[in-house]
Every structure is written in structure tokens, then in C-alpha cells.
Amino acid sequence: MTNRTILVLLDPATEVRTGVLELLTIARGLGRVEAVSLESPTVEALAQLGAYGVGTVRQAELPPALHGDERHLPAVVAAALAAAVRRADADVVLLPTSFANKEAAALAAHHLGAGLIIDAAAVSEDDDRRVVGSKRVFAGSWDTACAVTTDVAVITVRANAVVPAAAEAAVEPVVEGFAVQVPELPVTLVSRTVKPRTSGRPSLEEAAVVVAGGRGTGGDFGPVEDLADALGAAVGASRDAVFEGWWDAYIGQTGVTIAPRVYIGAGISGAPHHRGGMQAAQVIVAVNSDPEAPIFEICDFAVVGDLADVLPQAAAEIRKHKG
């Protein structure tokens, strides 16, 4: 075992999301784990962090001049992470991949002179004790590994990289405040709105199972939602379907990039743009009325048929099995 210190970004601190639990699980394999928050963690969050082996939560004390939502700006998150690394003399910073976290990770690495890896699927160490991030690239067709050659590594890790596992022995986390200097913000935050998460469904980014609909739905996402709910899955869409206004979040290399255990695409042909966002899924299933649909080339299992018939039947069968 090493004497590394690993910081995991906990944002928000009011709940410990699945993505953070995955990071804590990875971090324990690398060394001593601490969390960094920008607000006060809840009692429930602390208990869960303790179960995952987090001994210290470093809570950023932000300048009072900073108001409201400004603490969400990547420049502020980056300042907090850089300050936490210096305070804890940490070696690795892990963040769940998101557009905002990539930005914060890049700026933190810039402040720290640290090496940066984006969208790692695994983090390990090599024979020279360097931190190595592994990635699946080119729409899931190549595996690469990158070693960090600087003292500090900043790494964003994609969702579903590991199955979260609690520590062998729970600990009682201590919350320690630390002051963060934030230079004058060059950008003015005029407004910020957060889309509420759909209750009862996992988020697309984090879900282990995703059912996605495309042009072949003709705008009716009822069968897609029906199968998703039978499976406890998230719902996604192709970019075409979102441009048509049928759904709000699209899977693709410029939209949400997912790597679930199971991806089920319905009425999606599988254009390169879409494949770039889902091809890292472990198991790929497709339903399409066109037997020539390109998505069939990358599937484990496929049904040629009308999704309006196939999806509800599959949903009913799964509900029957679940009792």
C-alpha cells in the first residue's frame, strides 16, 4: 500500500452521488482518501463517506464577497481544489466527469502544474509508481493508458468505471475547514438555473442501464419510458430526436457520454455522432425496423421489429419476472 493522499470532489455535499461513491472506491485502491466540499456536508452524507473510508472532509471557506451561485463557477471550484491539494499535500485529485468538472479539473491542474487526464475509465499505478489513467477512445474502439509524469495528478473519471464498494471498516470523518483565495472573477454570472432531476429515474450520466429513443419513435417516447421504468433505467435520446423536440437530453460525443452496463437503443440508426457517446457501454442492445441499421454492427443483441410492439412486450415480461 502506498502513502498517497487522494482527494475526491464532493459537489454537492448534501448527497453522495453514485459517481462519487465510485470515485471513493477507486481512490481507496490508490491510498488515503479525503473528500473536498464547497459546502457543509449533511449528516447522512458524512455517514456514507465514513462507510467508504473517508477520514477527512476538507470544506472550503470561500471569500464572503462571492455571492450565491458563483461558487459553482469552475474557476471557484478549481481554486478550492488547488488550495485543498496544497493544504493536504495531496497527490491525486479525482472528479466525476461532467462538462463543468472537466473545466474545473483543467484550471486546477493549470494552477498546480499538474498532469491532467480527462474521462478515465480506470486509475492505477505502474511499476515506477506513476499514476496511470486508462481510457476507452475512438468510440470505444481503442484502449489507451496515460501515465502522469508530474507530482500531482488531476483526473476526471467517467461514470460506471467500477461498482461502488464500502470500505472494510467504517471510519468517523472529521470536517476540517480551509480558506480559499479566489482571484477576482473575470466572468460575470448573470443567471443560473438547474433542471430538476426526474424523480424515480436515475440520471442519464450515472445510470447502469439506459434506454434511448431516436427518430424511429416518431416522437412517441411512451414505449421507451415504459421499458426504462420496468428496468429502473434512465431515458436518453439521439441528437435527431432532441432536435425534433421529442426529448431533452441526447447521447452523443458532444452531448451526454455514457458507459452503462446495458444500453438499449430503440429506433436509433447509430450514426457516428451517437456511437461516440455510447459505444463504451458493456452490453449493447438495439431494436430497429431497418435490418440494415448500422447500430446492428456494434450490438450484442438486436431485434428487427417495430419498437412500439417490442418494447412494451419486453417491459411486461420483465415486470412479470420481477413479480
Partner 1 sequence: MRIVVTVKYVPDINTERGFEDCRVVRSPAEGTLNELDENALEAALQLVEAAGQGEVVALTVAAPDGDVALRKAFQMGVTRGVRVSDDALAGSDYFGTAAALAAAVRKLEEESPVDLVITGMAALDGLGSVVPVLLAAELGRPALHLAKKLAVSGGTVTVVREADDVTEELSAPLPAVVSVTDTANRPRFPNFKLIMAARTREIEAWTAADLGLDPATVGAAGARTQTVSAAPRPPRPETQLVTDKGDGGVALAEFLLRNDLV
Q: How far is the CB of 64 from partner 1 (least distance, A)?
A: 22
Q: How far is the CB of 150 from partner 1 (least distance, A)?
A: 5
Are 249 and 255 spatial neighbours (Cβ–Cβ below 8 Å)? yes
Torsion, Cα of 196, 201, 205, 209 (10° steps): -170
Q: Is 164 annotated as a binding residue?
A: no
Q: How far is the CB of 321 from partner 1 (least distance, A)?
A: 6
Q: Which CB atom, from 30 or from 298, has the smaller least distance to partner 1? A: 298
User: How much is the CA Rg of the chain, to the nearest whole Å?
Assistant: 21
Q: Is 232 annotated as a binding residue?
A: no
Q: Is 258 annotated as a binding residue?
A: no
Q: Which CB atom, from 174 or from 301, has the smaller least distance to partner 1? A: 301
Q: Is 273 annotated as a binding residue?
A: yes
Phi, psi of 150, rounded to the nearest 5 degrees: -95, 170
Look up residue 31 and give its amino acid. Answer: G
Max Cα–Cα distance, the chain, nearest Å? 61
Residue carrying the nine cell digits 463517506:
49
Q: Is 270 annotated as a binding residue?
A: yes
Helix, coil or strand: residue 298: helix
Q: How far is the CB of 80 from partner 1 (least distance, A)?
A: 16
Q: Which CB atom, from 169 or from 194, has the smaller least distance to partner 1? A: 194
Q: Is 269 annotated as a binding residue?
A: yes
Q: Which CB atom, from 40 or from 254, has the smaller least distance to partner 1? A: 254
Torsion, Cα of 142, 214, 17, 230 (10° steps): -120
Q: How far is the CB of 246 from partner 1 (least distance, A)?
A: 15
H or E segment to which residue 288 belongs: strand 283-288
**C-alpha 262, offset from chain centre:** 16
Q: Which CB atom, from 24 or from 310, has the smaller least distance to partner 1? A: 310
Q: Which CB atom, from 28 or from 239, has the smaller least distance to partner 1? A: 239
Q: How far is the CB of 101 from partner 1 (least distance, A)?
A: 8
Instruction: Give the residue among 98, 115, 110 at the shortest CA–CA distance from 154.
Output: 115
Are 209 and 281 spatial neighbours (Cβ–Cβ below 8 Å)? no
Look up residue 162 and give its three cell numbers.
467500477
Q: Is 251 annotated as a binding residue?
A: no
Q: How far is the CB of 123 from partner 1 (least distance, A)?
A: 13
H or E segment to which residue 59 belongs: strand 56-61
Q: Is 268 annotated as a binding residue?
A: yes
d(CA 234, CA 84): 34
Q: Is 238 annotated as a binding residue?
A: yes
Look up residue 134 and give its amino acid. Answer: S
Burial environment of residue 7 by CB neighbours within 10 A (0 to 12, 13 to 18, 19 or more): buried
Q: Which CB atom, from 168 or from 291, has the smaller least distance to partner 1? A: 291
Binding-site members for FAD are 215, 238-239, 267-274, 288
Binding-site members are 215, 238-239, 267-274, 288
